[in-house]
Amino acid sequence: MQTIPVKRTGPVLKPDSGRVMIRPFLLDSRERVRGILERAMTLDDGQVHTALKTAREEFAERHIDIEEILLRHARKARVVASFTGELSRERELLIGSYFTSEYALESAALFNPSIVPAPDQSGVPEGSLAFIMSLRATGEGHIS
């Protein structure tokens, strides 16, 4: 098989975290949600503070009003699990982070490239080839 020299030119595909949306992550089992909430209650305040700091660092750069979103998701989880009781703001925010996920609108993976020569090669420099390429894009949750 003949080797074809390739020179990389043109656009480079890079991720854009501005194209990520945030959404609730709720399980379909009341017992599983309750189990997660109960485990969150076993953390001491220092552990809660440290884990929440990490969650804030993960989400805050990409999302506006992240704390309000986390509180809303925590309230939904508490309703699903019929979980009552007073919680500190930090613990409530951490619980909200447990029930929050992100979704890449454009894709999480590009694969299965197909390349064919373009039917119109006019204006292409000698030794070059214009081509048409298609890719399969799969979003998070394996939606393609």
pLDDT tens column, 47-99:
999 999 999 988 888 888 899 999 999 999 999 999 988 999 999 999 999 99
Q: What percent of the chain stands above pLDDT 90?
A: 55
Q: Which residue has the higher pLDDT, 14 or 128?
A: 128
pLDDT score recorded for residue 81? 92
- pLDDT tier, 144 (very low <50, low <70, confident <90, very high otherwise): very low
pLDDT at 141: 57
Per-residue model confidence (pLDDT) at position 14 = 75
Picking from 105, 85, 5, 3, the residue whose alpha carbon sits closest to that of residue 37 is 85
End-to-end CA distance of the chain: 33
Q: What separation in angstroms does the CA of 15 have from each of 40, 107, 110, 114, 133?
A: 32, 9, 11, 21, 19
Q: How much is the average pLDDT of 7-13?
A: 79
Backbone angles phi, psi at 42, to 5 degrees: -80, -10
In sign, the C-alpha dihedral spanning 113, 119, 125, 126 is positive
Q: Quote the mean pLDDT of the chain.
A: 87
**Which segment of 62-66, 107-111, 118-122 scores lowest on mean pLDDT?**
107-111
pLDDT at residue 143 tops 60: no
Whether the predicted pLDDT of 28 surpasses 90:
no
